[in-house]
Structure 1
């Protein structure tokens, strides 16, 4: 389907039309009448506040000190609609996977996924209706009913789009599916028909809706049900009724598998309509206006449809019947004329939003249809998923004024916008991330920016962010997240983040922050994590030092002084410690040098003295003198012991 007209001028006109429908809000309490400013916050939120003004201490709480937070109402975030987001995300991901397989015909799979989308929407409608019935508050009840109406329209439009562009229809004869669509979404007089057919009482014409029900069944193509209702009329055995009943019984029905060509069926059909016209012209039904109306409908008389259009809310109710009795062999591309004819009948609500969308669909103008469904207040769920479906089905092609294909850009822009919206929800950001990942290269870049701005409420959430970032190869998120944890003073979280991210630079930065913090008096962070880090410690020397130093503290606290001393000496002799940490390492030897039983050998004591002399600038004054004295005492003890051992 080649859809042109996607020009900048056309888009500008549409944006101007949209601005005409913009709402104006009056700020409360006459606040911010002057000197106001605005700042965007995370997501679709912004803050209005007064510019910096000199406020006296005695001024008190005035409107000048107020801050007004303005946010978009997100319909999808109400609890009852959360199921829609989660369930549709699964179908969306399945669709991307099916579309990746370009070696086979995926049309059947696309149709199945389309039906899954509609099934999810129907489930949401049922949930909304049940909640509305149980709701006692009138305002909430009205809101739930309005939401149900929105999703009813969504399911109706999607079903028609599925028939016209997604489903593989044999012979492209669309009438049976069009009649099914009308019966499913516009069930006129169904309840009355069911009651009358169940009662099976003669004289049913006394029911005030009897004839309206018969006519509705006929224009819906339910001919057998209409004949059954006519048999319940008191005069059903009369010649006039038998003429009409016989005409209904002999009405030809086209079937692609029926063994006759469309040309042969056309001849049979026109012959049948000629017989109906002859009965009508014979004036034998002149005294029975309802039977006459039925015959006029059967021959496709436009004035007959005009005479009944006022009984229906919109021309959609008449569309299937009009096609049935004018061109039952119509292909999908031929429905535009039928739509124009029915729309011109003057039915009520002819200029409704739903009318515009369905008219665009029947005319094959998918660009207009997508624009119109973007105006629906469902926060873009419908436009995003339907456009994505049509794009992968290969039914959508949008060209700009230079005949450049803009189809992918249109699809990607909708998916990106929807994914960014979903990421605003604290519990749904993973779902939003999957949409952004489906639109490379811009999607992953946007995902990195949004992930870096997610509030890090807990270390568990941080680990989840890291896991999702690694899943989609968003390596930049790890660097930003680690810096945020360190900036917030959460060194333990920064270490855990760095370990999960497997980044040497991150590990080094977090380890340095932990060691500097310890030197300043803070406790060692994430001791349990460091003790179980395993091979992760080998990613960076500073992280290895931190892990071994944490292990030294564990041994010392468990009074395993000899093991602690051996580990401390290995850290000193390895020379991997940064300059600022040498003082701490050397001073940690003091209590071990002064222990009751020697834990350092003479050789190890000489190593401590050598390190002290080589780094004389890092440890001076009284601390250095105390360490030298402790080493001297330990040497006096260990030299004698070493001599005894020899």
Structure 2
């Protein structure tokens, strides 16, 4: 990719290795030097904590994949979901420890990551409550407040600080701590703060009594109807006290009493005073107006709560996630996850949990499930990172319709930075039957090794890819070196070639036979060596341009006192020398070549005479014996 701008100061951009965009300033002003800048298109994966998170999440993902014939139970889905959440929590702990030691530059990046993890874990926890635990009336409000107190723990922190002050009510966060506890349904915390303040007013004593008598739902020992009746009676008594002006002498106690009685304006006022999010208002309003509410009643209160707290336009990422989870709108939830997070890890894993729970049935225009689409995006983003591509494979393979096609394309585009990485990619291709990609990798590596003059390695890659055409090219390089030095390189590789490779390349067959000739000479089997080389020339397995060198290899054996050739073999060699001489006129040959041909003719003539004489002597000996 190359992009040019039309502005006077020209810039260009091109996509470089490892998914980096290389920007170049082509301006001729100033020094005239080209200025380059790399921009990483996947910066989140440069963070070691993110990579660790990705690896840990993948382990959970792989271990919990099921076939459609064996769906998960609700308990198994919950266990699967909580395993992901445990990974996120562990990652939060690692980042928190790092924040205590990192410098300012790194701290900014870690702060951003920490915020992302906190939002993810909080939303994931609420998702488990709403979609999988499905608490019934009486339990639901308590579960929501419990979730709120876990993930918004400002009031706990403030309460700890306040309780260290003496007297406690002089601390500037005393009343924020009181209201914070009240909004989260922590009535015991409210009572503890009131007792610590030594407030002896009548209003305070009455409010303490009201708090102590407030009915609390117990799932094990109380029916919902019984709880609802007790709570309504308690609330009516409190409203009567308010109408009679029992708390008129203390504005703070009056406001707290109004909150307890379910006065929405008072609840909203406390939420605004604490700058708490919209869902704090919703959950407090549910708890103090209908704590026995069922889920559809909670859903009916959502839009009103959002409207009172400033509307959807005021939402941040966390607000939006909570909004879609409470409305049980999976499509909008997945859309929000995809848009708000810089990486696909959250949306992809969340979608798979919903898929395993059989809650995602929607398909898009390409007939691909939402879960598969998100896994393809996430797996693809991992495949584009040179450190995480092997993790991305698992996600693509879990997409039955398009996963293998995507994987093949990504594997074909992976930068093969080293032999080790090439072997890893090749192993993946072979495991999944991607023969075309495997052959392409072997061919690329063979060419690279050949350029580096590592012919043995190049031939090994050809053998791995069963690439006869490439093996022929490498064999040519072997023979070029042989022609220059009359020595064969990387003979151990030649020895290891199997019969299949030899059938795929005629030149490779010649190369192996030449190696066999040298082995026979080394072991003293000269006669067999001579017969082999003559056969190579006669059958034209050996290219004609190498005949001269081959016959020169035979020169010491032609001059040997031993009879190593048959007359037919010598005639075959003479014909080869004659053919070479005819293919190249004497004017085109240098003095050395002319001299060598004359030497070969002379050696062949002498050898023929020696063989003929030997045969004659043998005949005479036979006649004498007769």
Q: Which residue of 1 aligns with 2:287?
A: 324
Structure 1 residues 67 and 240, CA gap change in structure 2 (3 angstroms): closer
Aligned match of 2:480 in 510, 520, 540? 520
Once the two structures are superposed, residues 525-544 of structure 1 have per-residue CA deviations (whole angstroms, 9 ceiling, x without a partner) of: 654444446xx543552469
Structure 1 residues 611 and 479, CA gap change in structure 2 (3 angstroms): farther
Q: Does 464-473 or 210-219 show the bigger shift?
A: 210-219
Q: Which residue of 1 aligns with 2:437?
A: 477
Once the two structures are superposed, residues 219-256 of structure 1 have per-residue CA deviations (whole angstroms, 9 ceiling, x without a partner) of: 223233333333323136x6644433333333333344
User: 8 Å contact 1:38–1:48 — kept in the other structure?
Assistant: yes
Shift of 1:39: 5.1
| Gap regions ≥5 residues in structure 2 | 584-593
Once the two structures are superposed, residues 204-229 of structure 1 have per-residue CA deviations (whole angstroms, 9 ceiling, x without a partner) of: 33333233222222222323333333
**Within 2, Cα distance between the matches of 1:253 and 1:576?**
103
Shift of 1:340: 2.8
Shift of 1:308: 0.6
**Within 1, Cα distance between the matches of 2:436 and 2:99?**
46
Q: Does 424-433 or 303-312 show the bigger shift?
A: 424-433
Once the two structures are superposed, residues 58-109 of structure 1 have per-residue CA deviations (whole angstroms, 9 ceiling, x without a partner) of: x99637x6677655252222234221222222222223x2x32633534333
Aligned match of 1:496 in 460, 481, 484? 460
**Within 1, Cα distance between the matches of 2:385 and 2:242?**
65
Q: Which residue of 2 aligns with 1:74?
A: 43
Structure 1 residues 185 and 609, CA gap change in structure 2 (3 angstroms): farther
**Within 2, Cα distance between the matches of 1:484 and 1:218?**
68
Q: Which residue of 1 aligns with 2:388?
A: 428
Q: Which residue of 1 aligns with 2:60?
A: 91
Structure 1 residues 394 and 587, CA gap change in structure 2 (3 angstroms): same
Shift of 1:468: 1.6
Shift of 1:301: 1.4
Once the two structures are superposed, residues 271-301 of structure 1 have per-residue CA deviations (whole angstroms, 9 ceiling, x without a partner) of: 2322322333332222123332232222221
User: 8 Å contact 1:240–1:284 — kept in the other structure?
Assistant: yes
Q: Which residue of 2 aligns with 1:183?
A: 149
3-state DSSP of counterpart to 2:481: coil
User: 8 Å contact 1:118–1:155 — kept in the other structure?
Assistant: yes
Output aligned runs, 1:205-284, within 5 Å.
205-235=169-199, 240-260=203-223, 262-284=224-246
Once the two structures are superposed, residues 23-79 of structure 1 have per-residue CA deviations (whole angstroms, 9 ceiling, x without a partner) of: xxxx9xx9953787665556655566799x9x9xxx99637x667765525222223
**2:357 matched to 1:393?**
yes
User: 8 Å contact 1:77–1:425 — kept in the other structure?
Assistant: no
**2:88 matched to 1:121?**
yes
**2:413 matched to 1:443?**
no
Q: Which residue of 2 aligns with 1:417?
A: 377
Q: Which residue of 2 aligns with 1:159?
A: 125
**Within 1, Cα distance between the matches of 2:440 and 2:480?**
25
Structure 1 residues 461 and 231, CA gap change in structure 2 (3 angstroms): same
Aligned match of 2:248 in 268, 282, 286? 286
**Within 2, Cα distance between the matches of 1:38 and 1:302?**
57
Q: Which residue of 2 aligns with 1:21?
A: none
3-state DSSP of counterpart to 1:174: helix
Q: Which residue of 2 aligns with 1:33?
A: 8
Structure 1 residues 632 and 295, CA gap change in structure 2 (3 angstroms): farther
Aligned match of 1:462 in 422, 443, 446? 422
User: 8 Å contact 2:185–2:287 — kept in the other structure?
Assistant: yes
**Within 2, Cα distance between the matches of 1:37 and 1:433?**
33
Structure 1 residues 465 and 363, CA gap change in structure 2 (3 angstroms): same
**Within 1, Cα distance between the matches of 2:562 and 2:143?**
90
Q: Which residue of 2 aligns with 1:111?
A: 78
Q: Which residue of 1 aligns with 2:588?
A: none
Q: Which residue of 2 aligns with 1:541?
A: 503
Structure 1 residues 217 and 546, CA gap change in structure 2 (3 angstroms): same
Q: Which residue of 2 aligns with 1:150?
A: 116
Structure 1 residues 479 and 187, CA gap change in structure 2 (3 angstroms): same
Q: Does 378-387 or 465-474 show the bigger shift?
A: 378-387
TM-score w.r.t. length of structure 1: 0.77
- Aligned CA RMSD, in angstroms, stands at 4.4
User: 8 Å contact 1:555–1:563 — kept in the other structure?
Assistant: no
Shift of 1:577: 8.9
Once the two structures are superposed, residues 568-625 of structure 1 have per-residue CA deviations (whole angstroms, 9 ceiling, x without a partner) of: 856876999985646547844643452476798546x856865986999789667888
**Within 2, Cα distance between the matches of 1:465 and 1:94?**
23
TM-score w.r.t. length of structure 2: 0.79
Q: Does 38-47 or 319-328 show the bigger shift?
A: 38-47
Shift of 1:309: 1.6
Greater RCO, CA 8 A, separation 6+ = 1
Aligned match of 1:304 in 266, 281, 286? 266
3-state DSSP of counterpart to 1:562: coil
Structure 1 residues 41 and 468, CA gap change in structure 2 (3 angstroms): same
**Within 1, Cα distance between the matches of 2:562 and 2:127?**
83
Aligned match of 2:305 in 305, 321, 342? 342
Structure 1 residues 47 and 245, CA gap change in structure 2 (3 angstroms): same
**Within 2, Cα distance between the matches of 1:564 and 1:249?**
110
**Within 2, Cα distance between the matches of 1:140 and 1:295?**
48
User: 8 Å contact 1:537–1:543 — kept in the other structure?
Assistant: no
User: 8 Å contact 1:586–1:608 — kept in the other structure?
Assistant: no
